[in-house]
Amino acid sequence: MWGDIAARAEPNERADFIKKTYLHLLGAVVAFCGLEAIYLNTSFAGDAMQRLMGAGNFGLIVAFGLFILASTVARSWANGSTSVGMQYAGLALYVVVQSLIFIPILYYAAHLANNQNIIPTAGTITLLMFAGLTVAVFVTGHDFSFLSTGLTIAGFALMGLIVCSWLFGFNLGTLFTVGVIVLACGYILYDTSNVLYHYRIGQHVAAALALFASVALLFMYILRLLMQTQSRR
């Protein structure tokens, strides 16, 4: 069974929970980077891109649906199971699914963009923004759980725009990209305050998964914004 809510736990238990959460987040990020390095330095990414382009919009919709399904299963395993093995299986599944979703944008950035530093730049900006938001929550001590409803509504609205763009072939511009970056920042504030106030001792794997999802979203759209900016030059 889970322990007490982290905010009500003993200081040493709470500190240990927070430490484990961010160590697991670091492990998830390292695993994600390792998978992407393998994809981009072998024929896997190129083959995947050819198949995705050949499938057209229908293939994109199917891929998006599978991503939602796999993400739901992964979160269920990480959040709902008291089995340590199932928690780690959920986190591992989510990292693998995210690494596959990132193939198109990273393949383009690595092989087709004219700036070889665009991926490291996006990664650095993501790290700095995540660190700044995390420090803001820890220093101020604010509970951002009130953002839940607004984030959910905004998330569904943005997903609807993405699906419509795939179905009807219109481009999502820079304003959309900035909107998703703002949404990702909101999720980081929300997830970080949940680590401090709402997760229970023992749920560090689930907390790490939630943070990883928000960081991945932020990184993807910062990279997208950099590529959009570069294309105008």
pLDDT at 34: 96
Contact at 8 Å (CB) between 86 and 94? no
Output the DSSP codes for 133-164.
Answer: HHHHHHHH----GGGHHHHHHHHHHHHHHHHH
Classify residue 192 by burial, with Cβ atoms within 10 Å: 0-12, 13-18, 19+: buried
Least confident of 20-24, 172-176, 229-233: 229-233
Whether the Cβ atoms of residue 158 and residue 200 lie closer than 8 Å to each other: no
Average pLDDT over residues 102-108: 86
Task: With beta carbons less than 8 A apart as the criterion, state whether 218 and 185 touch.
Answer: yes
pLDDT at 175 over 70: yes
pLDDT confidence band for 22 (50 / 70 / 90): very high
Which structure tokens are listed for 102? 């990132």
pTM of the model: 0.87
Q: Identify the CA nearest to 229 among candidates 113, 124, 107.
A: 113
Domain ranges in the chain?
7-231
CA dihedral 40, 42, 44, 50 (to 10 degrees): 80
pLDDT of residue 55: 47
For position 64, what pLDDT does the model report? 55
CA 140, CA 197: separation in Å to the nearest integer?
13
Query: Is residue 115 very low, low, confident or very high in pLDDT (cuts 50, 70, 90)?
Result: confident
Question: Can you tell me the mean pLDDT for 142-158?
Answer: 87
Contact 215, 25 (CB under 8 A): yes
Q: What is the mean pLDDT of residues 122-137?
A: 96
The reported pLDDT for the residue numbered 63 is: 57
Cβ atoms 6, 17 nearer than 8 A? yes
The better pLDDT of the pair 30, 70 is held by: 30
Q: Does residue 44 carry a pLDDT above 70?
A: yes
Three-state secondary-structure class, residue 117:
coil
CB 211 within 8 A of CB 23: no
Instruction: Report, as an integer, the average pLDDT of 194-221.
Output: 90
206 versus 65: which is more confidently predicted? Answer: 206
Read off the pLDDT band of 229 (50, 70, 90).
Answer: confident
Q: Name the pLDDT band for 136 (thresholds 50, 70, 90).
A: very high
The tens digit of pLDDT for each residue in 58-74 reads 555 555 556 566 666 66
Structure tokens, 144: 């951002």
Helix-helix angle 148-168:174-197, to 10 degrees? 150
